[in-house]
Amino acid sequence: MLILSCDHMKGKYIRRAVEVLRGGGVIVYPTDTVYGMGCDLLNKRAIDKIYQIKRMPRRKPLSFICSDLSQISEYAQLSNAAYKMMRRLLPGPYTFILQATRLVPKVMMSNQRTVGIRVPDNEICLELVRELGHPLVNTSASDSVEEVVSDPESIQEQFPQLDLMLEAGLLESEASTIIDFTADAPSLIRQGKGDVSGYL
């Protein structure tokens, strides 16, 4: 695994990480919650690799990261209510469950054709998406549901088969808040780091 510190030469390292993504690699990067593990949304073999690395069942869909609301609207159907709420909350520590558009690969959808989308408040992962030109598949860099690892050294030990890590020190170990926008009214699926009081 190639490890690049994000403390300096960020632009150069972002470009190197995107080269790995375009080559079908799986990388680790910081977000505004925990370290994420991801790959190119349009590379099915790389998505398969993430499922293998994390030993995840295929019925558990992965989320992905967009750079902004405009990009989200390409990959998901946005109601006026969802758009207004997301405009206030993003970028931030939230995952939104939305109806997918045809641009989303089938491997990324639930049986109900829904997807989970994030726009984290972290410039490193947003730069990755902008440089890549389309969304970044995202899951926590952890091998269990209960344990969320935010220590770079632990991640390196657990997942030596990863191709590259953008290392940014210890991160707060707290998952994102999940909001479901697939029904008429939004519903809170998981309360995490993001505050939604006053919105739901």
CATH code of residue 101: 3.90.870.10
At residue 138, the pLDDT reads 96
Average confidence score pLDDT of the chain: 90
Structure confidence at residue 145 (pLDDT)? 53
Determine contact, residues 48/65, Cβ cutoff 8 Å: no
For residue 196, being part of any structural domain is answered with no
Inside any domain, residue 126: yes
- Answer yes or no: is 41 within a domain: yes
**pLDDT tens per residue across span 26-66:** 999 999 998 999 999 999 999 999 999 999 998 888 999 99
User: CA 103 to CA 195: how far, in whole Å?
Assistant: 30
Contact 148, 34 (CB under 8 A): yes
Whole-prediction pTM? 0.92
Residue ranges making up the domain that contains 120: 2-190
* Distance between CA atoms of residues 76 and 64, nearest Å: 11
Q: What is d(CA 38, CA 21) in angstroms, rounded to the nearest whole number?
A: 9
Residue 103 located in a structural domain: yes
Residue 199 lies in a domain: no
- 155, 140 contact by CB (below 8 A): no
Measured CA to CA, the distance from residue 73 to residue 171 in angstroms comes to 30
pLDDT at 195: 87
Number of independent structural domains in the chain: 1
Per residue in 56-71, pLDDT (tens digit) is 998 888 999 999 999 9
- For residue 200, being part of any structural domain is answered with no
Q: Which two tokens stand for residue 1?
A: 């695994």
* 195 falls within a domain: no
Cβ 138 vs Cβ 65: under 8 Å: yes
